[in-house]
Amino acid sequence: MNIRDQPERWEVVGTTEHFKGYVVNVRTDQVRMPNGDAMETVTRDVVGHPGSVGILALDADDRVLLIRQYRHPVGRLLWEIPAGLRDVAGEPLWRLAARELAEEAGVRATEWHTLLDFYTSPGMSDERCRIFLARGVSPIPASEIDFRRVHEEADMPVVWVPLDEAVGKVLRGDFHNPLAATGVLAVHAARSAGFGDLRAPDAAEE
């Protein structure tokens, strides 16, 4: 057996659109279950999402970059990695990641790799996320910054945390953001393997 995720799409015999918002939309699909001769139809609610990217920036001292951002749905200030929506049609994902790293943290990187791909909540949403590993990092001079942070990003501290310390915080439940938790653990595993299995920044999504 090939233990690997694979594309599959069961028949949708009906769809009801409920909501279309600024970022997400909500629909209900009637999905036909392939149960042999008895074809059963069930209801599945789906949150449509454009997708996202995250950036795990790792400096020469093996520290990871974290930002703190207010998240209204959960009522918390969460420590996260820089991230952003796939909201520019046709933009290469690693370029989007570089833009988000600059805008949210004021940092640039010279070395990019694909760290991991995952669905954030596949039981209810089609949101797909790719996390990049950014190395060769350096601050962007203030004279080159031409954007302004607003709303939740207006007061967003940036810190560098030793990777091993960040791993401990994930395992103790100090971090709740899924991109931060998976990114920290993934880069820790990648470092243990000498970063030998990393994919190119423009690797195809499968």
Residue 153: active-site member: yes
| Cβ atoms of 57 and 65 closer than 8 Å | yes
Give the position of tokens 């000498």. 194
Q: DSSP secondary structure string, 64-129?
A: EEEEEEEEGGGTEEEEE--EEE--STT--HHHHHHHHHHHHHSEEEEEEEEEEEEES-TTTB--EE
Using CA atoms, how far apart are residues 46 and 180, in angstroms rounded to an integer?
Answer: 24
Around Cβ 165, how many Cβ atoms within 10 Å?
12
Residues 6+ apart with CB under 8 A from 194: none
3-state secondary structure of 139: strand
Q: Please give the Cα distance from 197 to 18 (Å, whole number).
A: 42
The catalytic position among 91, 103, 104, 153 is: 153
Annotated active-site positions, please?
A: 153
